[in-house]
A and B are shown apart, each in its own frame.
Chain A
Amino acid sequence: MGGVGLSSTGGGAAAGVPVIAASTAVIAHGTLAASTGVADLLSSPILMKGSGEGGGDAPNPGNIKRVKGGRLRDLGINAHKVKKFLGKEASNFDIAQSSSGGAYLISKDKETIIDLEAQLIDLAD
């Protein structure tokens, strides 16, 4: 199906939905409600950029690039639908892709990254 394209070049889809916070400020101050909400709901690891603290294979936000709308169209991905679970925070996120092909939601300020992986397949048109 078309929607698998974003992650098809990656190393396989993970079962979980990691939430990656690029800085402690986002979580500590709760300036982006969605980030804490996702982590709370999914008991997902909060991965810190660069430090390796709880990080595992956290991608560097610098290696994640926003997917332009034309590519979303070609892949048959409805961006609004994919972001819908975020509620009113949805407009603060874009769909992005890492150099290894993984699919993410990334906040406009790149402070918060949500790993979509297999979920993207479910939510694509």
Chain B
Amino acid sequence: MVRQADRTRQPIIRPSFVISGEGWTPDECSRLIGIAPDETGTRGERPAGKGMPFLDTRWEVRVEQRGHYIDGPVRALLDRVWDRRSEIEAFLDQTGASTYVYCAVSLFGEPAGYSLSAESIRRLAALRAEFSLDIVDYSES
């Protein structure tokens, strides 16, 4: 059993599947794909009216889990969109949009494992998704 004190030292793994581009709206993307996004952004607009403007129009679903290996959260993320891959592919062909998975890893004292399973890689490729891993070690001093 994992004690609460230990759990707070576990990495937080937060992968996002993003459809990115311009010349379309996130609502159009949601309608055509048939999945409700967790977050959207429109190129040039500032999130909540402040901060940096988005560089692209984006439609995003994400997963957040504590754990030591990135493959589980990435698989859970890909599971959210896998059944709609045909619709996603059609949207990409129609709009020229691209996809990527951005995996944010926050470290708090315990290490993370950064390997992906063959099945995850196969699904990433089928979804035409680039993979980007971003690690921030908050325990680093």
Interface 0/1 of B20-61, CB less than 8 Å to A: 100000000000000000000101100100111111101000
Binds B, one of A7-15, A22-30, A47-55, A80-88: A80-88
Q: Are A85 and B140 in contact (CB under 8 A)?
A: no
User: Among A41, A71, A87, A119, which residue has its beta carbon within 8 angstroms of that of B102?
Assistant: A87
> Interface-forming stretch among B81-89, B117-125, B129-137?
B129-137
Sampled A-B contacts (24; CB under 8 Å): A17-B52, A34-B55, A38-B55, A68-B140, A69-B137, A69-B139, A70-B139, A70-B140, A70-B141, A79-B136, A80-B106, A80-B136, A84-B47, A85-B41, A85-B52, A85-B53, A86-B52, A87-B54, A87-B56, A89-B55, A91-B134, A119-B50, A119-B51, A123-B51
* Cβ B55 vs Cβ A87 within 8 A: yes
Which residues does A use to contact B, with CB under 8 Å?
A: 17, 33-34, 37-38, 41-42, 68-73, 79-80, 83-91, 119, 122-123
A109 smallest CB distance to B (angstroms):
16
* Residues of B near any A CB (own CB < 8 A): 14, 18, 20, 41, 43-44, 47, 50-56, 58, 100, 102, 104, 106-107, 130, 132-134, 136-141
Q: Are A90 and B136 in contact (CB under 8 A)?
A: no
Query: In the complex, A71 Cα to B141 Cα: how many Å?
Result: 7
Q: Are B107 and A86 within 8 A (Cβ)? A: no
The answer for the CA separation of A70 and B137 in the assembled complex, in Å, is 7
- Across-interface contacts of A72 in B (CB, < 8 A): 136, 138
Q: Name which residue of chain B comes closest to A72, CB basis.
A: B138
| Contact of B138 with A73 in the complex, beta carbons under 8 Å | yes
In the bound assembly, the distance between CA atoms of A41 and B43 in angstroms comes to 8
Q: Nearest chain-A residue to B48 (Cβ)?
A: A122
- B26–chain A nearest beta-carbon distance, Å: 14
Distance from B37 Cβ to chain A, minimum over Cβ atoms (Å):
14
